[in-house]
Amino acid sequence: MPGPLFWHRRLRARLSGVILAAALPLATLAALPAWAASSLSAWRFSREGVLELRTAPGVLIQAFYEQGQAGKGPRVWIDLPGAPQRTRVIPGSGALRQVRVGRPGPDTTRLVLEFEPGTSLDPAQLRLVGTSIDRWRMEIGAPAAAVAPLGEGNLEAPLIPSWRAQPAPSDQAIWPPAGSVDTTLPPASAASLPDVPRGRYTVVIDPGHGGPDPGAVGINGLRETDVVLDVSLQVAQLLQAKGVKVLLTRTTEVDVDLPPRVALANNSRADLFLSIHANALSMDRPDVNGIETFFFESSRSRALAQSVQEQMLSVSPGSPDRGARPGRFFVIRRTVMPSALAEMGFVTGSLDSPRLADPAFRRRMAVAIANGLLRYLVANP
């Protein structure tokens, strides 16, 4: 039977011929709760036969090896906390037959590398190495080299909790990082937004989807992830200009699962959480348009959703008001502070889609959302 490999300080455990080594102390490790979704954020298998992983920070993972038999090639697999939202099979090339992302149990993600029959792997040379608190590496070696590279997500994304919006004077116009928006437009200004005590509040902005999950794709190929990341970056900068401490669950096109988004908000003891999205229906229903904001149960979350909803409608004349209403989305159910999920319009809608595709409209929407958040903070100190 194959055996698990646990990550320990200064320990190399040889189980069924597989070795796992790591450079970080045991104290940095913590398992996700059993209800969590997958802690696997990104993975890549290179042409040199190297497997690289990015996970939620500080999780404990296990590595296994099984020798090929009965016409099947050898397998290497990694088990991680939390179940993936979808299982999938990715065809490989050369000696690598396929990669599978599976759900062997209700709270486990399994990443399987299955090789072609006859592939010779030396289990004594397999080492899964923790290179940082959220990075892992295993060199499969020459037998798996020269395959076409494949993977999912962004391995180079910064550690999520480490990001902070860059400070900027409150009397200056604010602009997101270079290349994230159309810089031919004048920058969005925070001058007209409500004032709150500087340094008092922490807000988490969650741009929905990302990486291999683009979210909804609408008219003319408009992708939800592109719209929400642009708006979210601008909202973050506007709030920062008002002295609000801002955390973003992602700042690039990276796949971030749901529990790390919630954990960032809860662990930072944020005052507010807002997840930003764009809606979609069938491409056959361009007549469906509108703005809506969801909350889960609490009166404060309802007030937050209503404030954001009102301001979004103010910059999108003619868009149907679909209301601030209850919803059971994971990120607003599991966060412990007032939370809301904003849908800025339908990427499949004949009215909403052209607006969401327009950088000038996205700029106005960012100002509106920041206005709604700040108005809530003023009314609920």
276 and 169, same structural domain?
A: yes
Structure-model confidence comparison of residues 261 and 10, the more confident one: 261
211 and 114, same structural domain?
A: no
State the pLDDT confidence band at 218, using cuts at 50, 70 and 90: very high
Is there a domain that residue 70 lies in? yes
Q: What percent of the chain has pLDDT over 90?
A: 45
Is there a domain that residue 107 lies in? yes
Among 139, 20, 123, 126, CA closest to 67: 123
The predicted structure's pLDDT at residue 236 = 92
Domain containing residue 76: CATH number: 2.60.40
Domain that holds residue 66: 13-152
Is there a domain that residue 209 lies in? yes
The predicted structure's pLDDT at residue 350 = 95
Domain count for the chain: 2
Q: In the 8-state DSSP scheme, what is residue 210?
A: B
Condensed to tens digits (0 to 9), the pLDDT of residues 234-287 reads 999 999 999 999 999 888 777 778 888 898 899 889 999 999 999 999 899 999
pTM of the full structure: 0.57
Contact present, 305 and 273 (Cβ < 8 Å): no
The predicted structure's pLDDT at residue 143 = 72
Catalytic positions? 343
* Count of helix runs (H) and strand runs (E) in the chain: 6, 18
- Per DSSP, the three-state class of 303 is helix
Structure-model confidence comparison of residues 85 and 118, the more confident one: 118
Instruction: Report the range out of 170-179, 187-196, 203-212 with the highest average pLDDT.
Output: 203-212
Is there a domain that residue 2 lies in? no
* Chosen domain end from 85, 120, 152: 152
250 and 375, same structural domain?
A: yes
State the pLDDT confidence band at 306, using cuts at 50, 70 and 90: very high
Q: Over range 313-317, report the average pLDDT.
A: 93
204 and 171, same structural domain?
A: yes
* Chosen domain end from 104, 136, 152: 152
357 and 245, same structural domain?
A: yes
pLDDT over 90 at 60, yes or no: no
In angstroms, rounded to a whole number, what is the distance separating the alpha carbons of residues 152 and 140?
18
Give the C-alpha distances (Å, rounded to integers) separating 90 from 100, 111, 269: 6, 11, 39
104 and 178, same structural domain?
A: no
170 and 124, same structural domain?
A: no
Is there a domain that residue 214 lies in? yes
pLDDT over 90 at 9, yes or no: no
Is there a domain that residue 4 lies in? no
> What radius of gyration do the chain's Cα atoms show?
23
Instruction: Report the range out of 15-29, 49-63, 220-234, 252-266 with the highest average pLDDT.
Output: 220-234
The predicted structure's pLDDT at residue 239 = 94
137 and 80, same structural domain?
A: yes
* Chosen domain end from 123, 152, 181: 152
Is there a domain that residue 1 lies in? no
Contact present, 18 and 75 (Cβ < 8 Å): no
Residue 373 tokens read as: 């958040």
Condensed to tens digits (0 to 9), the pLDDT of residues 316-338 reads 999 999 999 999 999 999 999 99
Condensed to tens digits (0 to 9), the pLDDT of residues 186-202 reads 556 777 899 999 999 99
Residue 324 tokens read as: 């601030």
101 and 82, same structural domain?
A: yes
Is there a domain that residue 114 lies in? yes
Domain containing residue 164: CATH number: 3.40.630.40
pLDDT over 70 at 163, yes or no: no
